[in-house]
Amino acid sequence: MEHTIPSSEAHLDGPLFRNARQVLEEAGQIINCDPNVLERLKYPRKSVTVSIPVRMDNYNVKVFTGYRVQYNSTLGPYKGGIRYHQNVDLPEVVGLAALMTFKNSVLGLPLGGAKGGVAVDPSKLSRTEKQNLTRRFTSEISDFIGPTKDIPAPDVGTDPQTMAWMMDTYSQEKGGYFQPGVVTGKPVEIGGSMGRNHATGLGVVYVAEKAFEKNRLSMNGAKIVVQGFGNVGSFAALFAHQRGAKIIAVSDVSGGIFNGDGLNIPELIEYTKQNKTVKGFPKSTDIGNEQLLELACDALFPCALENQIDTHNAERIKAKIIIEGANGPITNTATKILSQRGIFIAPDVVANGGGVIVSYFEWVQDIMSFFWDEDEINGRLKSIITKAFETVYKFHTEKNVDMRLAAMACSVQRLEKAMLLRGLYPR
Ligand code: NAD
């Protein structure tokens, strides 16, 4: 049944958030969650909308709209990325902030959930315009964020350079001293962590290895399809390629490419640095994004945006397992269809948790001013993400529910205990 939201709550009325609330309600019933806790978990705590005037290169001023949504801080400071994309709106950011809350909880991190975004196509901005936008946005939300309060990170359309500008703006405005702990995903030269840039993609592959194992498949020689070739998709493809998988197709916003014998991923990464797209890569044929999702393969990694698999294509998906690198790439109804068809889904809140896990390490290192080497980071990442996967897998098999519902149930169990211990203020 489709989850409905009253018109007075239009800011909550997005497909991603409707999906999340529906899974939350179902999970709440399965674990017999306290109804007052469940009611509180259905709402974001605070949503801030700001106007961001930006001096463009032609000297005209253009005003963009930005958001920061702080969903829940029961388990720790708010934490979640900043997205620059033309379709960003408040309901989408609310949905992403809710997912961050449930992700941080199921991963066992001492962090709450938040998300931010600006409605802008960053590919249409010059470097100066992007810096101006980032600095003014940071300034507008600077009273809401902070190293012990709310810690942003990169997401679609933002990168380590964006985080460097955010950190610098915040540090200049709040006393003029170095405050690296205010954002994660920074370059290593200014308090970033080894291994953060590739962490989400590596986490996707650690989870994929577990999912292959549970489904009696091997990554060595497996045929894998990757949708989206940005931060998450390109590193997930690279790490799977290094483990002997054949990446037979990948795509980006302009379309996809295919080679049944497997694409040379290191060469493709170099090619995309020069050409800004995967299209035209030698020894590949063109393929549409829709067609790519429906290819016969062992595993599909959707690593682009939300709502890519819904009722219109769920019946045609031929992958044996799906690892959700992106947030919310499969709708709830499609999840049910795929699960009934025996397709195994490793849900986003676990599968793409590598980014926030290493963001957590970065934040800890910044606070201590003591930095770890990459082996230590990767080892700790593997241990946290595989433990979360095993916990969710156990719930999935014991209660006979799909992996998405199992992940939400495990997440809500932890939040429920903490919320009941903290109680309701004032009461
Ligand atoms: P990115 O901007 O680096 O890359 C996004 C990629 O998707 C690009 O290659 C883009 O061309 C492609 N794309 C966009 N629209 C597409 C479409 N319609 N069809 C096919 N490809 C399309 O972003 P990212 O950081 O890699 O994030 C991707 C997803 O992973 C998002 O859902 C994001 O929320 C999620 N995620 C990212 C991180 C992180 O650490 N970056 C962590 C957890 C989750």
User: Could you write out the DSSP letters of every residue in 122-157?
Assistant: GGGS-HHHHHHHHHHHHHHHTTT-BTTTEEEEE-TT
Q: Which residues of the chain are modeled with pLDDT < 50?
A: none
Domain boundary assignment for the chain: 44-177, 199-351
Cα 257 to ligand 1 centre (Å): 17
For a substitution probing ligand 1, which of 125, 155, 225, 277 has the most ligand atoms within 8 Å of its CB? 155
pLDDT at res. 2: 55
> Could you check whether the bond before residue 110 is cis, i.e. omega within 30 degrees of 0?
no
The whole-angstrom separation of Cα 45 and Cα 359 is 22
Establish whether domains 44-177 and 199-351 are of one fold. yes
Domain 199-351 class in CATH: alpha beta
Q: Are 169 and 146 in contact (CB under 8 A)?
A: no
Is the model's pTM score more than 0.75?
Answer: yes
Atom of ligand 1 nearest to the CA of 356: 42
Residue nearest to atom 28 of ligand 1 (CA): 304
pLDDT at res. 132: 98
Instruction: State whether the beta carbon of 157 lies less than 6 angstroms from ligand 1.
Output: yes
The Cβ-side half-sphere exposure at 316, using a 13 Å CA radius, reads: 12
Instruction: State whether the beta carbon of 305 lies less than 6 angstroms from ligand 1.
Output: yes
Instruction: State whether the beta carbon of 129 lies less than 6 angstroms from ligand 1.
Output: no
The whole-angstrom separation of Cα 321 and Cα 291 is 17
Atom of ligand 1 nearest to the CA of 232: 26
Amino acid at 35: P
- In terms of Cα–Cα distance, which of 19, 14, 25 is closest to 2? 19
The whole-angstrom separation of Cα 249 and Cα 293 is 9
For a substitution probing ligand 1, which of 301, 303, 307, 310 has the most ligand atoms within 8 Å of its CB? 303
Active site residue: 115, 210, 223, 246, which one? 115
pLDDT at res. 5: 74
Instruction: State whether the beta carbon of 355 lies less than 6 angstroms from ligand 1.
Output: yes
Cα 242 to ligand 1 centre (Å): 21
Long-range contacts of 237-242, Cβ-Cβ distance < 8 Å, separation of 24 or more = 237/201, 237/263, 237/265, 237/268, 237/301, 238/198, 238/201, 238/265, 238/266, 238/269, 239/198, 239/201, 239/202, 239/204, 239/205, 240/205, 240/208, 240/301, 241/265, 241/266
Q: Are 12 and 92 in contact (CB under 8 A)?
A: no
Instruction: State whether the beta carbon of 227 lies less than 6 angstroms from ligand 1.
Output: yes
Cα 401 to ligand 1 centre (Å): 28
Amino acid at 305: L
What number of other Cβ atoms are within 10 A of residue 245's Cβ? Answer: 25
Quick one: three-class SS letters along 21-58? Answer: HHHHHHHHHHCCCCHHHHHHHCCCCEEEEEEEEEECCC
Instruction: State whether the beta carbon of 167 lies less than 6 angstroms from ligand 1.
Output: no
Residue nearest to atom 29 of ligand 1 (CA): 326
* CATH number assigned to the domain with residue range 44-177, chosen from the 4 options 2.102.10.10, 1.10.10.410, 3.40.640.10, 3.40.50.10860: 3.40.50.10860
Residue in this structure with the two tokens 């620059």, named with its chain if needed: 84
Residue nearest to atom 30 of ligand 1 (CA): 326
Residues 6+ apart with CB under 8 A from 53: 61, 62, 63, 136
Residue nearest to atom 35 of ligand 1 (CA): 326
Helix axis angle, 403-422 to 90-106, nearest 10° = 80
Q: Are 268 and 261 in contact (CB under 8 A)?
A: no
Instruction: State whether the beta carbon of 352 lies less than 6 angstroms from ligand 1.
Output: yes
DSSP summary character for residue 295: S
The reply to whether 115 belongs to the active site is yes
Instruction: State whether the beta carbon of 289 lies less than 6 angstroms from ligand 1.
Output: yes
Residue nearest to atom 17 of ligand 1 (CA): 253
Instruction: State whether the beta carbon of 348 lies less than 6 angstroms from ligand 1.
Output: no
Cα 232 to ligand 1 centre (Å): 6
